[in-house]
A and B are shown apart, each in its own frame.
Chain A
Amino acid sequence: MTAFLQLAFNGLALGAAYALVALGFVLVLNATSAVNFAQGDLVMAGGYGAAALAALLPLPGLALLPLVMAAMAVLGLAVAALAYFPLMRRPASSVFISTIAVGLLLQNGALHLFGPEPRAAPPVLGGGQMHLGHVVLSYQSLAIVVIAAALVAGQRWLFAHTQLGRRMRATAQDREMAAALGIPVRTMIALTFALAAALAGASGALLSNQFFVTPTEGGALILKAYIAVVIGGWGSLEGAVLGALLIGVFETLVAAWFDYITAEALLYGVLLLILLGRPQGFYGEAAGRRA
Chain B
Amino acid sequence: MTSAALAQPWRGLGARAPWAIAALALIAYAGFASPYELRVLAFAGTQVVLVLGYQFIFGHAGALSLAQGAFFGIGAYVTAVLGGRYGLGFLGTFPLSILIPLALAAIVAAPVLRLASHYFALATLGLAQLALLAAVNGGEFTGGALGLTGVPGIVLLGWTVPRGIAFAAVVWLVVAAGAWLSLRLTRGLTGRAYAVLRGDPLAASAIGLSEQHLRLAAFLLSAGYAGAAGALDAHILGVVSSETMAFSVMVACLAMTVIGGSTRLAGAFIGALLLTYLPEWLRSLEGYSLLAYGAALLLAIVLAPSGIAGAVAGTIAALGRVRRPVLPAPAELPEPQGPSGLPLLVVRGLAKRFGGIEALKGVDLTIDRGEILGVIGPNGSGKTTLANLVSGFVRPDGGTVILAGQSLTPLGASAIARAGIGRSFQHPALPPELSVLEMVALARASLSDDLGFRAALAGRDRGDRRERHEAEALHFLQVLDADGYARYPCNALPYRAAWRVEIARILALEPKLVILDEPAAGLNEAEQGELARSLRRLARRGLGLLVIEHNMPFLLPVADRVMVLDEGRVIASGKPEDIRRNPAVVAAYLGRRAGMS
Chain A residues with a Cβ under 8 A of chain B:
34-35, 82-83, 86-87, 90-94, 96-98, 100-105, 107-109, 112, 219-220, 223, 226-227, 261, 264-265, 268-269, 271-272, 275-276, 280-288, 290-291
Contacts and interface: CB of A to CB of B under 8 A. Distances in A.
A101 B130 contact: no
A286 B298 contact: no
Main secondary structure of the interface of B (DSSP, over half): helix
A281 B133 CA distance: 26
A21 to B, nearest CB: 14
Nearest to B134: A265
Given A96-B64, A283-B116, A87 B301 contact: yes
A100 B297 contact: yes
Contact of A83 (B122, B288, B298): B298
A89 to B, nearest CB: 11
Contact of A271 (B123, B254, B255, B298): B123
B385 A285 contact: no
A269 B291 contact: no
B117 A104 contact: no
Contacts, number: 137
Nearest to B293: A104
A94 B303 CA distance: 12
B395 interface: yes
Contacts of A268: 126-127, 129-130, 133
A281 to B, nearest CB: 4
A223 B64 contact: no
Contacts of A275: 111-112, 115, 119, 123
Cβ-closest 6 pairs across A and B: A104-B294, A281-B114, A101-B298, A101-B297, A105-B294, A276-B111
Nearest to A291: B384
Nearest to B211: A283
A82 B297 CA distance: 12
Interface of B: 62, 64, 108, 110-112, 114-119, 121-123, 125-127, 129-130, 133-134, 136-137, 201-202, 247, 251, 254-255, 258, 287-288, 290-291, 293-295, 297-298, 301-302, 305, 354, 384-385, 388, 393-395, 425-427
A107 B394 CA distance: 43
28 contacts: A35-B122, A86-B302, A87-B302, A93-B117, A96-B118, A98-B297, A101-B294, A101-B295, A101-B297, A102-B294, A102-B298, A103-B294, A104-B293, A108-B290, A108-B294, A109-B291, A223-B125, A264-B129, A264-B133, A271-B123, A271-B126, A272-B126, A275-B111, A275-B119, A281-B114, A282-B114, A287-B202, A290-B202
A268 B130 CA distance: 7
A98 B302 contact: yes
Nearest to B250: A100
Contact of A108 (B127, B288, B388): B288
Given A112-B288, A291-B388, 9 more contacts: A90-B305, A97-B64, A97-B297, A104-B297, A108-B294, A220-B129, A261-B133, A284-B354, A291-B385
